[in-house]
């Protein structure tokens, strides 16, 4: 049996600005979360992860923090936060916070000091560099390296006051903190200890595999047709990443019990993830890898490729095998940066939305690892029907649209096609609570439009219908809590070359589970022998399956003992 509690836990992510608006300003808030805690308790999740609620100019919806130890007035105050934490703990759940320390806001006092003069004691808390040799500071191409920023434009901003540039891997309002400086690290650890002392149960760590940069900072590879280079070799999983995370563990988590830490790590490899999550090394408990959500991306960022199921299976198979002995997987389809999975890898038409949402949930939750449910996923919420670029609010979508159409000369309609499929605002439309105006999210026009399908797809309707996605997710979560093979069983992928069925077994001692998911709208027979005498634990359709013949989008979980 496992001793690490989070191996049998399910985490629920809340994106506070889109969850529930209690004070009627069109923006979700902490009181709104408090008002809906029973929804989460009924779902049965063990942990709630809150996307950032700290004080912030909201340039990147709170991933730009100007005070790490205060709550943004948009969301409430520290007293409301404490009440929320109490409500979560009273219901037997835990609460983890987002930790955004690769960068701060440019409005953080640390950066204000840092930019004030070259000899300010905090100058070195951020990455300041002069213009490229022989170039006029502030002119195009004079940036210290050729890296592009994630939201478009160069990764360096020129600051006239001191005539130097600062690094920002994301927006210019998100300057990167210099983790080489031990004072920065101590300040971050002190802040983390302050939250844990207050009662929170851990952290989800934003882009935490970007905190160690390769020195000296150097140009990246420039691809034809792109305005700026991909600098990721200079900052993904840099040379001191493991050292920094181990130091953080020692100074923050050592001696504390029942914490949960998960590091967001775009571009992390299986081999690196083993090191990051091996408990003996004392770094983090698990990481968010990206391979399976980049499976429809191909080499060209401006094309959407249809999902190839064999590719997806190859990815999960590699991660399951890689972290089988040491380390631990996180499991997710959705978060605030990803389109809705039922629209992406399922079928969100009225006929198959519910079945395919449940099938996707089944396949994910039955893997070995800790599943994460993103708000609305338990309702089968779908992508939003964006008409034009003016429907988007996300800094990434707007920045990338500008760069692609104005600088790189791409056709706006082609860029929109990709943003519709992949844009982050798909995940950020307000939570659909009921069929009243604004989906019961707010009494006024929300900051981002509610998906017009809220009249059919909403929490009230889902809770009233025993066959809903919501009640099916409850069963999935309960199965993880009740059946040790779901938590600890080993994993074997079946039918790796099949483009239609996703099938695998989990085995623990004498118990074996068989999971099959049909990723198509057609009836498909699974050629798997020996399960005639098994017990049907879960089935996402009203009618029982005919042997191992799977109806469109059907999923089953079978159990046998030997
Ligand atoms: C990852 C976060 O999930 C995303 O929303 C944010 O824009 C970037 N990191 C920058 O903080």
**The predicted structure's pLDDT at residue 1:** 41
Peptide bond into 504 cis (omega under 30): no
Ligand 1 centre from 336 Cα, in Å?
9
User: For position 165, what pLDDT does the model report?
Assistant: 98
Asked if 266 and 209 touch (Cβ cutoff 8 Å), the reply is yes
Instruction: Report DSSP state, residue 110.
Output: H
pLDDT score at 226: 83
Q: Is 11 helix (H, G, I), strand (E, B) or coil?
A: strand
CA-based nearest residue to 524, from 504, 554, 497: 554
Please determine, for residue 323, whether its predicted confidence score (pLDDT) is greater than 80.
Answer: yes
Set 164, 206, 348, 377: catalytic member: 206
Residue 210 backbone dihedrals phi, psi, to 5 degrees: -115, 5
Residue 264 a catalytic site member: yes
Give me the pLDDT at residue 161, please. Answer: 97
Model pLDDT, residue 224? 84
| Res 303: pLDDT | 85
pLDDT value at residue 297: 83
pLDDT of residue 282: 98
CA-64 nearest atom, ligand 1: 11
Task: Render pLDDT for 454-507 as a digit per residue (tens, 0 to 9).
Answer: 999 999 999 999 999 999 999 999 999 999 999 999 999 999 999 999 999 999
Q: What would the pLDDT profile of 228-244 be if each residue is shown by its tens digit? A: 999 999 999 999 999 99
* CA 498 to ligand 1 center in whole angstroms: 35
Strand partners, 560: 512
- Decide if pLDDT at 298 tops 80: no
| Nearest alpha carbon, ligand 1 atom 2 | 206
Which atom of ligand 1 lies at the shortest distance from residue 102's CA? 11
**Residue 2 clears pLDDT 60, i.e. is over it:** no
- Contact between 227 and 84 under an 8 Å Cβ cutoff? The reply is no
Q: Tell the residue nearest (CA) to atom 5 of ligand 1.
A: 337
Output the pLDDT for position 562.
87
Residue listed under structure tokens 């006929």 = 351
User: Is the model's pLDDT at 327 over the cut of 50?
Assistant: yes
CA separation for the pair 521, 542 (Å, rounded) = 16
| Tokens 């160690």 sit on residue | 212
Summarised one tens digit per residue, pLDDT across range 236-275 is 999 999 999 999 999 999 999 999 999 999 999 999 999 9
Does residue 394 have its Cβ closer than 6 Å to ligand 1?
A: no
Confidence of residue 225 (pLDDT cuts 50, 70, 90): confident
Per residue in 386-436, pLDDT (tens digit) is 999 999 999 999 999 999 999 989 999 999 999 999 999 999 999 999 999
Nearest ligand 1 atom to the CA of 100 is 11
385: how many CB neighbours lie within 10 A of its CB? 11
* pLDDT, averaged across the chain: 97
Catalytic status, residue 543? no
- 353: CB partners within 8 A, 6+ apart: 342, 346, 347, 380, 382, 457
The share of the chain scoring above pLDDT 90, in percent, equals 95
| Residue of 56, 149, 207, 426 best suited for mutating to test ligand 1, as the one with most atoms within 8 Å of CB | 207
């Amino acid at each position: 049996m496992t001793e690490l509690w989070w191996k049998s836990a399910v985490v629920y992510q809340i994106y506070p600005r889109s969850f529930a608006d209690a004070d009627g300003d069109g923006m979700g808030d902490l009181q709104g979360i408090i008002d809906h805690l029973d929804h989460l308790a009924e779902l049965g999740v063990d942990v709630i992860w809150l996307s950032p609620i700290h004080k912030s100019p909201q340039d990147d919806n709170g991933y730009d923090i100007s005070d790490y130890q205060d709550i943004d007035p948009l969301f409430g105050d520290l007293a409301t936060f404490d009440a929320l934490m109490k409500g979560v703990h009273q219901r037997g759940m835990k609460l983890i916070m987002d930790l955004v320390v690769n960068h701060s806001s440019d409005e953080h006092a640390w950066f204000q000091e840092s930019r004030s003069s070259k000899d300010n004691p905090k100058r070195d808390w951020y990455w300041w560099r002069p213009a490229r040799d022989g170039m006029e500071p502030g002119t195009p191409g004079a940036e210290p390296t050729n890296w592009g920023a994630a939201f478009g434009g160069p990764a360096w901003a020129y600051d006239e006051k001191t005539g130097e540039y600062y690094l920002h891997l994301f927006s210019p309002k998100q300057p990167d903190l210099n983790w080489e400086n031990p004072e920065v690290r101590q300040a971050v650890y002190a802040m983390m200890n302050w939250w844990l002392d207050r009662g929170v149960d851990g952290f989800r760590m934003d882009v935490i595999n970007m905190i160690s940069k390769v020195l000296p900072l150097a140009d990246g590879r420039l691809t034809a047709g792109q305005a700026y280079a991909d600098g990721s070799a200079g900052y993904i999983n840099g040379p001191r990443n493991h050292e920094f995370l181990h130091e953080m563990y020692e100074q923050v988590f050592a001696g504390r019990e029942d914490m949960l830490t998960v590091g967001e790590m775009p571009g992390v490899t299986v081999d690196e993830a083993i090191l990051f999550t091996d408990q003996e090394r004392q770094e983090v408990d698990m990481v968010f890898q990206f391979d399976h959500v980049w499976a429809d991306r191909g080499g060209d960022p401006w094309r959407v490729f249809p999902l190839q199921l064999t590719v997806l299976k190859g990815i999960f198979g590699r991660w399951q095998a890689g972290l089988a002995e040491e380390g631990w997987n996180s499991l997710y389809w959705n978060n605030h940066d990803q389109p809705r999975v039922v629209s992406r890898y399922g079928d969100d038409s009225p006929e198959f939305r519910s079945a395919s949402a449940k099938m996707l949930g089944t396949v994910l939750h039955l893997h070995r690892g800790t599943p994460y449910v993103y708000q609305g996923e338990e309702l089968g919420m779908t992508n939003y029907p964006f008409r034009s670029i003016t429907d988007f609010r996300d800094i990434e979508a707007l920045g990338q649209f500008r760069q692609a159409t104005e600088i790189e000369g791409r056709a706006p309609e082609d860029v929109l096609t990709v943003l519709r499929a992949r844009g982050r605002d798909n995940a950020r439309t307000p939570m659909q609570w009921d069929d009243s105006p604004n989906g019961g999210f707010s009494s006024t026009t929300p900051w981002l439009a509610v998906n017009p399908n809220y009249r059919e797809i909403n929490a009230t309707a889902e809770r009233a219908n025993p066959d809903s996605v919501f009640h099916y997710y409850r069963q999935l979560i309960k199965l993880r809590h009740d059946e040790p093979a779901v938590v600890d069983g080993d994993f074997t992928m079946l039918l790796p070359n099949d483009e239609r069925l996703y099938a695998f077994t989990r085995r623990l001692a004498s118990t074996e589970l068989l999971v099959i998911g049909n990723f198509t709208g057609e009836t498909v027979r699974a050629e798997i022998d020996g399960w005639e005498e098994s017990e049907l634990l879960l089935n996402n359709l009203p009618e029982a399956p005919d042997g191992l013949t799977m109806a469109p989008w059907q999923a089953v979980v079978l159990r046998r003992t030997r």
